[in-house]
Structure 1
Amino acid sequence: MRLAKGGTAGRKLRRRIAAIAIGGALLLAFPAVAEPLQKPHGGEIILTVSGAIANTNGDGGAFFDLALLKSLPVRVLVTETPWTKGRHEFTGVPLEALVAAVGASGKTITAYALNDYSVDLPVEDGKRHGALVVYLFDGQPMLPSDRGPLWIVYPFSDRKETRSETFYQRAVWNLYAMTVR
């Protein structure tokens, strides 16, 4: 399209195009206001995410029951772990999808287990290393006596870089809370 150099119509059109371009740049520079998460579906809260998050569904945090976790994207991973014999099927939410759902803006997650164990892991572990927040082990829900209700699992069989003490320490079972920093 050719714009007229002179005249009122040409100036108005150039101003509108400039305003649209500036508005688009502002939308890219400043993310949209975060939408709140759905409320848990009435089940027992099994995961609380707090800290540097934009999307909450309760008192300053994101609270998940099993049904709400299952409403997020699902991935199935078949892998061996140092704590189980043979390959097993793990079903859960990709860590990347979970941090996106809560609008995480930090770089580190502190993951907390029911037995008072905690560990820091990079938010990037979801995208970079395929970490999964697992809620089914071989198709069955996990009890606290079986490393449940949640377990952070990495694709140990498929990604050589995850077969190290660093990633074994990040594979938190009995997971119940995360704080994003």
Structure 2
Amino acid sequence: MNLNNLPAGLEEYYRYAEAVASLDLAIKLEPNEAYLWDWRGIVLGRFGRAEEAISSYDRALELQPDDAGILDNQAYALLTLGRHEEAMANWDKVLEIDPNHSNAYYNKACYFALQNQVELALENLQRAIELEPERCRELAKNDSDFDGIRGDVRFQELLAGG
């Protein structure tokens, strides 16, 4: 099938369907590979199927319970469903496993910014930037999660490197 001739949006759907089908086949062949379940969760999450994504992450975590990356991915899916406390518990566990996991700090900063908990947002963003300055500053520049604190001088200083 030539995906270039599909209407807008349909091409993306077919790629998504292919990705899920490929992962399901791979999982059928290797059901105990946590990374396959993790990738399945990522793909499902990107297409708005967060409940199914969480189930995939649950299976991945049964296989690798202390995988910070899987926990971080699952936390994001939990957050999209409004399960904030569970997401925060995941991010806290991520940071217990890997205190240098910048993505967990960044995601916590986003969450706190959206909750207008400015001090906690800045504290977590600062830690994320300390760990990965270029990437986290670049992400935060355009991340709408920070719109509520964008005018804060401390936020501006973090982005400027000061």
| Both structures adopt the same fold (TM-score exceeding 0.5) | no
Greater relative contact order (Cα 8 A, min sep 6): structure 1 or 2?
1
TM-score, normalised on structure 1?
Answer: 0.26
Q: Which is greater in Rg?
A: 1
